[in-house]
Amino acid sequence: MQPPSAVQVLSAASNGVVITQGATGQNVWLNILYYTPSGTATATFGSVPAGSATLGTTGNVVLGFQIPLTTVPGTYKFTVTDGTYTASTNFTVVAATISAVPSSVLSGGPLNIVGKGFVINGLGIAMQDSKGNSIGGTTLTLAISPNSTLSTVAGTMAQVVHGTYTLTVYDAFHTASVTLTVSPNIKITDGAFANLNQLSGVKGDPIIISGTGFTASSNLTIWYGQTLSTLQVVNPTNGFGSLTSTVGNLPGLAFNVPVWINPGLSVVKVVDGSGFSATANFTVYKPYILISPSSGVGGATIQISGGYFQGGDQCFIQVDGQPVVTIPTNGIFASSADQFSGFFIVPSGLSAGSHTITVRDNDNNTQVTTFTAVSSQTTVSGINTLKVAVAPLQTLVGGVYKGINATYTNTLNVQVTGLAIAVVRNSAGQTAGVFSGTLTMAAGASSPVYVAFYPPLPSQSYTVSVYVVTPSGVAISPLSTVTVSL
The yes-or-no verdict on residue 280 having pLDDT over 90 is no
Q: What is the pLDDT of residue 460?
A: 75
Exposure string for 239-251, b = 16+ CB within 10 A, e = fewer: ebbbbbbebeeeb
Region 139-166: mean pLDDT is: 94
**Prediction pTM value:** 0.65
Q: What is the pLDDT of residue 434?
A: 63
Region 182-187: mean pLDDT is: 90
Q: Which residue has the higher pLDDT, 27 or 399?
A: 27
Q: Which residue has the higher pLDDT, 173 or 236?
A: 173
Domains and CATH numbers, the chain: 6-93 (2.60.40.1930), 97-183 (2.60.40.10), 185-284 (2.60.40.1930), 288-373 (2.60.40.10), 385-485 (2.60.40.10)
The yes-or-no verdict on residue 436 having pLDDT over 90 is no
Q: What is the pLDDT of residue 235?
A: 60
The yes-or-no verdict on residue 381 having pLDDT over 80 is no
Contact 18, 68 (CB under 8 A): no
| Reported confidence tier of residue 458, pLDDT bands at 50, 70, 90 | confident
Distance CA 479, CA 456 (A): 23
Residue 415, strand partner residues:
none
Q: Which residue has the higher pLDDT, 480 or 80?
A: 80
Question: Which residue, among 350, 297, 342, has the nearest Cα to 319 in the 3D structure?
Answer: 350
Q: What is the pLDDT of residue 469?
A: 54
| Reported confidence tier of residue 297, pLDDT bands at 50, 70, 90 | confident
Distance CA 330, CA 326 (A): 8
| Number of separate helices (H) and strands (E) present in the chain | 0, 43
In the chain, pLDDT over 90 holds for what percent of residues? 42
Distance CA 449, CA 454 (A): 15
Exposure string for 283-311, b = 16+ CB within 10 A, e = fewer: ebbebbbbbbbbbbeeebbbbbbbbbbbb
DSSP class of 347:
P
Max mean pLDDT among 162-171, 318-327, 426-435 falls in 162-171
DSSP class of 410:
-
| Range of weakest confidence among 43-52, 94-103, 240-249 | 240-249
Contact 16, 10 (CB under 8 A): yes
Q: What is the pLDDT of residue 439?
A: 67
